A and B are shown apart, each in its own frame.
Chain A
Amino acid sequence: MNAVQTGSANLIEIRDLGKTYRRGKQAIPVLQGVNLDVAAGDFFALMGPSGSGKTTLLNLIGGLDTPSAGSIVIGGQRIDKLSGAALARWRAAHVGFVFQFYNLLPMLSAQKNVELPLLLTKLSAGERRKRAAIALQLVGLADRASHKPGELSGGQQQRVAIARAFVTDPTLLVCDEPTGDLDRASAEEVLGLLQQLNRAHGKTIVMVTHDPRAAEHATHMVHLDKGELVGAARVAQPV
């Protein structure tokens, strides 16, 4: 199918993307012939039934996995050709991740969890502390900085995860079902935060979700089915 285009200045350009997993001698195609352009500053919702390849596509965009075919260019850089070490450096510099189950390190405080990506920078300890504190303030959890994940609610943990995702000021936020484990109120808070990061700070967001109400917070929706893009639409009036 033709590339799904969302704007003129593309941050992400995906061409003829394919991903096939191998189980023994059996080849299992998960994605095939995916073409997609995402403009800088878009909030992009990837939707589709279970097994449609949403998370696989998200992992490829986030540089967590490498494709079997096709190309992925992000910010002008072809990431599908990068080595493992170079891809790790690229992720550290350009991508923030938000997971369904928060994936915070349970033995670290909220502050230390947010500081984690900053350990990969050359910032001093004081500067790392300061930036993490600001990030926690932005997600409304300055007073919970010393709390460990086990002492926070699901919504609060996800907000800490979001703070961790943007503390390095990445270009792209990659979110895998960020509201999948939350009640409605907490989900709204989290989506509101993502929207704020998108609108006020210009972060490009690619979010996988099952939830149509979550998708309505995005600027664009794309549907996948059986590993192929089957539809794309601009959200007329995001929530």
Chain B
Amino acid sequence: MKYFSLVWAALWRRKARTLFTLFSVLTAFLLFGMLDAVRTAFNAGDQLAGSGRMIVSSKLSITQPLPISLLGSIERVPGVRQVGWANWFGGYYQHPTPFFPNFAVSSNYLSLFRDRYELPPAQARAFADTRDGAVVGAALAKQFGWKLGQRVPLIAGIFPRSDGSNDWNFQIVGIFTTANPKLKAAEQQFLFHWKYFDEGNAYMKNMVGWYEVNLANPADSDRVAQAIDALSRNSDHETRTQTEQAFQASFAKQIGDIGLIAGGIMAAVFFTLLLLTGNTMAQAVRERIPELAVLKTLGFQDHTVLALVLAESVLLIVLGGVLGMALAMLLTPMVSAASGGALPLPPLGLQSWLSALGLMLAIGLLVGALPALRGMRLQIVDALAGR
């Protein structure tokens, strides 16, 4: 610790350079923190255990439909409390953008998600009673200025009607909200009856996109998932039962492997950081060779000089890194909130901090190694003479 003031003073010898380098390190670790949160969010659903709600989709691909005939078998699996289903519709209102998710759903679908959809009882009854009725999220209704009772046409992006037209007409009979800020993205949804969709579309009959299964006891999730998947084993519609989060992760992985993308970005960022800070440290030590020679003249040992330069390098990276991670901690919930629940990022946890600290130490030691060795090996007489 008695050398700290020496290390600290050396670090700030050229303030502008140190500040710019710190800013680079801060940015790199801010990005690391944010991307790690994204990666964690997408990997969060990999565990089945303890989940109270599961999704049964085709084992081949979530774009492959499943037969409605599976419904009865799934309902009979011990431990299953309630089963609903849905199908991606892919329609749009007037123009393909702005995009909003729209699904054909089972009549009991809203009751499966009591924690997500809050709909006045009268509107829920109206939805149950109206064949072409639709319930929409409050945010979506506000966006397009839709009112209760209004007729709204959606243009089919995938499923034309059996008469060949792409126009599907719906009556808005309910506007739902959600209290959970993490699920605010649900308020962008447009839901209508699967029966209306199944009867009216030209492409498929008696097929659903996926089943939603509520469990009587969340602890049974592993066993129930295996039992459901066993129902269709060796058939042409084998299933894969997983948690909602895992299903969403699979959905997102249609875009690409988020972990791989995040890893690639981080690798590029840290490689650039290595070059940048490595160059900064090399330059800083090159400028200070006579000063390091003075320290050795006064009796500082070679290994002490080595440690001083390494400590300076590690301090620089840790300082910038901790600031970056702290900023990521502040920004993560803000980004989550701003996404309206579309990107529910978890807060940075101990694991992220430990990984970041490990990276900081590794980078600090790596970029400091060569300059530190140079400082350690310098010949006093040559260095003092400027050779």
Count of residues in A whose CB is under 8 Å from the partner chain: 26
| B-chain residues with CB within 8 Å of residue A125 when the two chains form the complex | 2
Closest to A117 in B: B298
The one of B6, B9, B291, B299 that contacts A91, using a Cβ cutoff of 8 Å = B299
| B-chain residues with CB within 8 Å of residue A103 when the two chains form the complex | 290-291, 294, 297, 384
Complex CA distance for A84 and B291, rounded to whole angstroms? 19
- Structural contact, B299 and A112, CB atoms closer than 8 A: no
- Structural contact, A116 and B295, CB atoms closer than 8 A: yes
Q: How far is the CB of A171 from chain B (nearest CB, A)?
A: 14
User: Which residues B333-387 have CB closer than 8 A to chain A?
Assistant: 380-381, 384
- Structural contact, B10 and A107, CB atoms closer than 8 A: yes
Tell me if A142 counts as interface (CB < 8 A to partner B). no
Q: How far is the CB of B282 from chain A (nearest CB, A)?
A: 18
Contact A117 to B299, CB < 8 A, known contacts A65-B380, A99-B384:
yes
Closest to A125 in B: B2
Contact A65 to B9, CB < 8 A, known contacts A84-B302, A97-B297, A103-B294:
no
- Structural contact, A119 and B6, CB atoms closer than 8 A: yes
A82-99 contact mask (Cβ, 8 Å, vs B): 1 or 0: 001100111111000101
Contact A91 to B295, CB < 8 A, known contacts A103-B290, A105-B9:
no
Tell me if A108 counts as interface (CB < 8 A to partner B). yes
- Structural contact, A85 and B302, CB atoms closer than 8 A: yes
Closest to A95 in B: B299
- Structural contact, B298 and A116, CB atoms closer than 8 A: yes
Complex CA distance for A108 and B296, rounded to whole angstroms? 17
- Structural contact, A108 and B9, CB atoms closer than 8 A: yes
Q: How far is the CB of A40 from chain B (nearest CB, A)?
A: 21
Chain B CB within 10 Å — which of A84, A99, A103, A105 has the most? A105
Tell me if A59 counts as interface (CB < 8 A to partner B). yes
Closest to B288 in A: A105
> Which B residues are closer than 8 A to A by beta carbons?
2-3, 5-6, 9-10, 12-13, 290-291, 294-302, 380-381, 384
> Which A residues are closer than 8 A to B by beta carbons?
59, 62, 64-65, 84-85, 88-93, 97, 99, 103, 105-108, 112, 116-117, 119-120, 125, 164
